[in-house]
Chain A
Amino acid sequence: MNAAKVQKKPKTTSKLKQMRSDWQLYVLLSFGLIWLILFAYKPLMGLRIAFYDFNPFGGLAKSRYVGFENFQRYFSSPDFARTVKNTVMLALWQLGLIFPASIILALVVTQMTSRGISKATQTITFLPYFISAVVVAGMVLSFTSPNNGWINIIRRSFGLEPIYFMVQAKYFRPIYTLMLLWMQAGYNSLVYIAAIMGIDTSLYEAATVDGANKLQRIIHVTLPGILPTIMTMLLLNIGKMIRSGYETIILLYHPSTYEAADTIATYAYRLAFDNPGRADYGLSTAVGLVEAVVAFIMVALANYMSRRVTESSLW
């Protein structure tokens, strides 16, 4: 009893002491915290707009409080089911294509015996990441044009009818996902390449001694070695996929493809900014909040899966 009391006191002072001696670290930490408070937490106050009939000039003080009316309007509109479905579907497409493609790209690049080809592949796949989304969308539009896009020129040379890809809902998801794949695969694979480089080479040597061929080495050494990285990237990306690229979608979609392309984010954008003279900020914010909730659910699900599979998780 007495001993515990005596022990407790020096503990707190030592903590303070420790803080004082590590003050540089705390200063470094403070920058991140300030950023987080200013740009992640303070804007959360704006979510109150979702509960108001918002008037930008009067601000919240002069806006009418409407409770959950904006949410009710969204949930009862025919757009609700469609936008949620499209959002989740586009995320799943990305998850099914881009996510594994980045890993495969990383494996291929690291397995290449010629250093020159490996470096060249890395550079070529990495470069599209720096091209502005506007430019990429413009390229996609011109490639798929029914008159002079090269895809249709090739089709025509085989005697096939040209297809007007960008106005047909069924082509939207594949085209959009392929575009993102081209843009992001190289960049996303970087992390995996780094993780693969970090695997102890003696493991490969041991596997080779045991008679494992190249494929077996990848399956039994490389993949388990980078599995924690894969799961972390999955967790980090899944929320992003939900919220990703509403600006790219806006550049590519068209009323005739809304059926497959109109996500929660683009819907919210249209309500607030693409609606001159009739901006509905309250509804738009409510819709944006719903999107955040959907993204959160997806992250939570992924986190649960990750904990079951690899025992590594965010929380």
Chain B
Amino acid sequence: MKKRRILAAALALSMTAIPFLTACNKGGESGTGTSKTGDATGSVSEGDKGSQASSAEGGDTEYYVSDEKQKFSIFLNFNNMPFDPQWPVWQEVQKLTNVELEASIPQSNSDEAQAFQLMLSDNNLSDIIGYVDMTALEQLGFDGGLIPLNDLIKEHAPHIQKMLDEDDAFRRAATAADGNIYFIPRNQENRFAEFYWIRQDWLDKLGLAVPDTVDDLYKVLTAFKNDDPNGNSEKDEVPFFDRAGHKHPDEILYLWDSSIQFYPRDGHLMYDPMHENFKYAMEQACKWYKEGLIDQTYFTRGPSGRDELMSANQGGFTHDWSSASNYNKSLAKDVPGLEMVAMAPPKDQNGNRVERTVNMPGVGWGISVNAKNPEMVMKFFDFLFTEKGQTYMDWGLEGVSYDVNADGSKVLREDFLAKEGTPIGNLRAMGSRYRVGYASSLEAELSTYSEFARAAAELYQKNTDWYRPDVPPYADGQLQLKLTPEESAEFNRIMGPITTYVQETYTQWILGTKDFASEYDAFIAELENRNIARATEIMDSAYQRYLGKN
């Protein structure tokens, strides 16, 4: 009898105690490569044409990493497009370098994070590893999974070395807190990231000028709200909207030079909610929300919110990437006259004009301890930094996706641009523009832009003074500063709960379920109580290292 009781107890416990580490996936990035399957067959045959063209150069061994064929396994899954060595561009690259690549992730994989965790816990590292999260790659380096590349670059990768020497942003992105380089980043020449977008046709209709200051913006948005710019005689306009999800507080607070992130003030990093600007910014944000200038449902709107609001002819103003201008073309029939144009960041209450989002060298790829010939891998990496390699990554295949003009400049071919899907999606379907270590050029970036996006890019690229030079690159709202494993562990322990607390409180203030003015002091006290001072100290020391002062 007693035995049976114990067994029953054990069974009950086991039913309730299956631990949490059954990886579960929430949502997943929306794939930019949706056109991939549709285009795959078409571009493969075209790729063959291209390969014939270049194999005419015949037995060219200039870029061979070795006379003996090298075989590397490769772990990469970019936006749910697992790396495919069969992509026409990569067929060419493999042929030119005498390398055979073998994908470690099956083509059916749709969860990069899960695949990455599985690879780690199986302790079965591929030779080449790229992953969406820089910090995770560096952690793998600290743990001994990726090898330091500094010496290999010096010896075998003259082109990468040159870029490290000449490009501060690239070197800073590549170098971990311990001074080692664990991955070769994907560099970007363009500085601009997001732009402020406004409905020019609405401005014209209401006879308003493009707002210059945040106070002008307030008036314009109020007019959008009340004066029925979409002409359906309903008050359904959503003047200020954003699809950014968890970054939403920042997207609004930026207007008054604040955020819920760390930001440099007078040479030191500070947690923005502790800065005086935050109080003003929060008051304004609450007021704007209350008056209906800010999307009333943005908390549950989700990433497709922008599509919904634009096609319903309701959205007026937003802060977003170049794709915000795509509607000018795609909705031309449904919403006649729709014209989203980029405008300069409005001057804040202190008279400063600042754009906080910047494009930065992103994650690329590194070499694991399992690679048998790391120096060969490094030579292969270096190829993508040669002009030829860069062209494959940026432009695809000559005669298929691009042509070379008489003056040597490159253009995407008319028939390629006319193909179904977006040009960038079609380039990715060939294997170009993939998330690997290479240097993407501004010219190539602009080649896929619509005229409105190009105008936006030129406006923001030209006005370098909108970007503060002392601000480290942002990624997804957060400063990309390099922390040591110890710093990072301590920082995360402090900031994990604080971030939740701040987001929660922010939302309650905006919604008016809690009163901002009366609770602000308690809020600051709670931040101090949760040791924001130590977190700031850690971030600031990393920032001083970034500035090269430490």
Interface of A toward B, CB cutoff 8 Å: 36, 39-41, 43-44, 46-47, 49, 53, 55-59, 62, 73, 77-79, 141, 145-147, 164, 166-169, 239, 242-243, 247, 250, 254-256, 258-259, 265, 268-278, 280-281, 284-285, 287-289, 292, 295-296, 299, 314-315
Given A56-B117, A147-B296, A315 and B16 contact (CB-CB distance below 8 Å) = no
Query: Once the chains bind, are A239 and B16 in contact (CB under 8 Å)?
Result: yes
**Residues of B contacting A299 in the complex (Cβ-Cβ under 8 angstroms):** 12, 16
Residue of A at shortest CB range from B238? A147
Interface centre among A77, A79, A256, by most B CB within 10 Å? A256
Sampled A-B contacts (30; CB under 8 Å): A36-B11, A41-B14, A47-B17, A53-B489, A56-B117, A56-B120, A57-B145, A77-B497, A79-B497, A79-B500, A147-B296, A239-B12, A239-B16, A243-B16, A247-B24, A254-B299, A255-B506, A256-B507, A258-B504, A271-B496, A276-B132, A276-B133, A276-B135, A284-B20, A289-B19, A292-B17, A295-B16, A299-B12, A299-B16, A314-B12
Query: Once the chains bind, are B145 and A315 in contact (CB under 8 Å)?
Result: no
Report the minimum CB–CB distance from A87 to chain B (whole Å).
12
Choose among B15, B23, B145, B297 the residue that contacts A273 (Cβ–Cβ < 8 A).
B23
Beyond known contacts A141-B300, A167-B299, A255-B503: 14 more, CB 8 A cutoff: A43-B18, A62-B143, A73-B493, A146-B297, A164-B296, A239-B15, A254-B300, A256-B508, A280-B492, A281-B21, A292-B17, A296-B16, A299-B16, A314-B8
A256 and B482 CA atoms in complex are apart in Å by 31
Residue of A at shortest CB range from B514? A256
A308 and B12 CA atoms in complex are apart in Å by 19
Interface centre among B12, B120, B492, by most A CB within 10 Å? B12
Query: Once the chains bind, are B16 and A292 in contact (CB under 8 Å)?
Result: yes
Q: Assess whether B5 is interfacial by the CB under 8 Å rule.
A: yes
Residue of A at shortest CB range from B491? A278
**Residues of A contacting B15 in the complex (Cβ-Cβ under 8 angstroms):** 40, 239
Given A164-B511, A254-B299, A59 and B497 contact (CB-CB distance below 8 Å) = no
Closest 6 CB pairs of A and B: A256-B507, A277-B135, A292-B17, A278-B492, A288-B20, A295-B16
A58 and B24 CA atoms in complex are apart in Å by 21
Query: Once the chains bind, are A36 and B19 in contact (CB under 8 Å)?
Result: no
Query: Once the chains bind, are B123 and A40 in contact (CB under 8 Å)?
Result: no
Query: Once the chains bind, are A285 and B9 in contact (CB under 8 Å)?
Result: no
Report the minimum CB–CB distance from B469 to chain A (whole Å).
26
**Residues of B contacting A164 in the complex (Cβ-Cβ under 8 angstroms):** 296-297, 299, 511
**Residues of B contacting A59 in the complex (Cβ-Cβ under 8 angstroms):** 121, 123
Interface residues of B in 1-51 (CB under 8 A from A): 4-5, 8-9, 11-21, 23-26
Q: Assess whether B488 is interfacial by the CB under 8 Å rule.
A: yes
A289 and B503 CA atoms in complex are apart in Å by 27
Report the minimum CB–CB distance from B138 to chain A (whole Å).
9
A69 and B506 CA atoms in complex are apart in Å by 31
A53 and B504 CA atoms in complex are apart in Å by 28
A62 and B123 CA atoms in complex are apart in Å by 12
A62 and B16 CA atoms in complex are apart in Å by 28
A312 and B132 CA atoms in complex are apart in Å by 54
Q: Assess whether B513 is interfacial by the CB under 8 Å rule.
A: yes
Given A57-B120, A254-B300, A278-B488, A285 and B13 contact (CB-CB distance below 8 Å) = no
Query: Once the chains bind, are B20 and A274 in contact (CB under 8 Å)?
Result: no
A271 and B493 CA atoms in complex are apart in Å by 10
Choose among B5, B14, B117 the residue that contacts A36 (Cβ–Cβ < 8 A).
B14
Report the minimum CB–CB distance from A42 to chain B (whole Å).
10
Q: Assess whether B335 is interfacial by the CB under 8 Å rule.
A: no
**Residues of B contacting A242 in the complex (Cβ-Cβ under 8 angstroms):** 16
Residue of A at shortest CB range from B507? A256
A78 and B531 CA atoms in complex are apart in Å by 13
Query: Once the chains bind, are A250 and B299 in contact (CB under 8 Å)?
Result: no
**Residues of A contacting B139 in the complex (Cβ-Cβ under 8 angstroms):** 57
Query: Once the chains bind, are B26 and A274 in contact (CB under 8 Å)?
Result: yes
**Residues of A contacting B14 in the complex (Cβ-Cβ under 8 angstroms):** 36, 40-41, 44
**Residues of A contacting B16 in the complex (Cβ-Cβ under 8 angstroms):** 239, 242-243, 292, 295-296, 299
**Residues of A contacting B495 in the complex (Cβ-Cβ under 8 angstroms):** 278
Q: Taking chain B's interface residues, is the majority helix, strand, or loop, or is none over half, making it mixed?
A: helix
**Residues of A contacting B169 in the complex (Cβ-Cβ under 8 angstroms):** none
A166 and B21 CA atoms in complex are apart in Å by 28
Q: Assess whether B524 is interfacial by the CB under 8 Å rule.
A: no
**Residues of A contacting B20 in the complex (Cβ-Cβ under 8 angstroms):** 265, 268-269, 272, 284-285, 287-288
Interface centre among B15, B136, B497, by most A CB within 10 Å? B15
Report the minimum CB–CB distance from B45 to chain A (whole Å).
38
Report the minimum CB–CB distance from A35 to chain B (whole Å).
11
Interface centre among B23, B134, B135, B136, by most A CB within 10 Å? B136
**Residues of A contacting B121 in the complex (Cβ-Cβ under 8 angstroms):** 56-57, 59
Residue of B at shortest CB range from A314? B8
Query: Once the chains bind, are B19 and A285 in contact (CB under 8 Å)?
Result: yes
Query: Once the chains bind, are B12 and A256 in contact (CB under 8 Å)?
Result: no
**Residues of B contacting A147 in the complex (Cβ-Cβ under 8 angstroms):** 296-297
A41 and B11 CA atoms in complex are apart in Å by 9
Interface centre among B16, B123, B139, B299, by most A CB within 10 Å? B16
Residue of B at shortest CB range from A251? B26
A289 and B16 CA atoms in complex are apart in Å by 9
A164 and B488 CA atoms in complex are apart in Å by 38
Q: Assess whether B310 is interfacial by the CB under 8 Å rule.
A: no
Report the minimum CB–CB distance from B539 to chain A (whole Å).
14
A61 and B513 CA atoms in complex are apart in Å by 48
Q: Assess whether B411 is interfacial by the CB under 8 Å rule.
A: no
Query: Once the chains bind, are B19 and A255 in contact (CB under 8 Å)?
Result: no
**Residues of A contacting B26 in the complex (Cβ-Cβ under 8 angstroms):** 250, 273-274
Choose among A44, A55, A145, A284 the residue that contacts B17 (Cβ–Cβ < 8 A).
A44
Query: Once the chains bind, are B299 and A166 in contact (CB under 8 Å)?
Result: yes
Report the minimum CB–CB distance from B360 to chain A (whole Å).
15
**Residues of B contacting A79 in the complex (Cβ-Cβ under 8 angstroms):** 497, 500
Query: Once the chains bind, are B143 and A58 in contact (CB under 8 Å)?
Result: yes
Report the minimum CB–CB distance from A60 to chain B (whole Å).
10
Given A58-B143, A73-B493, A256-B511, A145 and B300 contact (CB-CB distance below 8 Å) = yes
Residue of B at shortest CB range from A37? B14
Report the minimum CB–CB distance from B48 to chain A (whole Å).
39
Residue of A at shortest CB range from B478? A277
Residue of B at shortest CB range from A55? B143
Interface residues of B in 145-192 (CB under 8 A from A): 145
Report the minimum CB–CB distance from A280 to chain B (whole Å).
7
A270 and B24 CA atoms in complex are apart in Å by 11
Report the minimum CB–CB distance from B294 to chain A (whole Å).
13
Q: Assess whether B140 is interfacial by the CB under 8 Å rule.
A: yes
A250 and B26 CA atoms in complex are apart in Å by 8
**Residues of A contacting B506 in the complex (Cβ-Cβ under 8 angstroms):** 255
A145 and B143 CA atoms in complex are apart in Å by 47
Given A41-B14, A57-B123, A285 and B511 contact (CB-CB distance below 8 Å) = no
Query: Once the chains bind, are A256 and B299 in contact (CB under 8 Å)?
Result: yes
**Residues of A contacting B13 in the complex (Cβ-Cβ under 8 angstroms):** 292, 296
Choose among A255, A272, A295 the residue that contacts B504 (Cβ–Cβ < 8 A).
A255
Query: Once the chains bind, are A78 and B24 in contact (CB under 8 Å)?
Result: no
A166 and B25 CA atoms in complex are apart in Å by 22
Given A164-B511, A256-B507, A314-B8, A57 and B140 contact (CB-CB distance below 8 Å) = yes
Report the minimum CB–CB distance from A157 to chain B (whole Å).
16
Query: Once the chains bind, are B296 and A259 in contact (CB under 8 Å)?
Result: no
Interface residues of B in 456-497 (CB under 8 A from A): 488-489, 492-493, 495-497
Report the minimum CB–CB distance from B291 to chain A (whole Å).
15
Query: Once the chains bind, are A167 and B496 in contact (CB under 8 Å)?
Result: no
**Residues of B contacting A58 in the complex (Cβ-Cβ under 8 angstroms):** 143-144
Interface residues of B in 378-421 (CB under 8 A from A): none
Report the minimum CB–CB distance from A243 to chain B (whole Å).
6
**Residues of B contacting A36 in the complex (Cβ-Cβ under 8 angstroms):** 11, 14
Encoded as 1 (CB less than 8 Å from any A CB) or 0, chain B from 103 to 136 comes to 0000000000100010011010000000011111
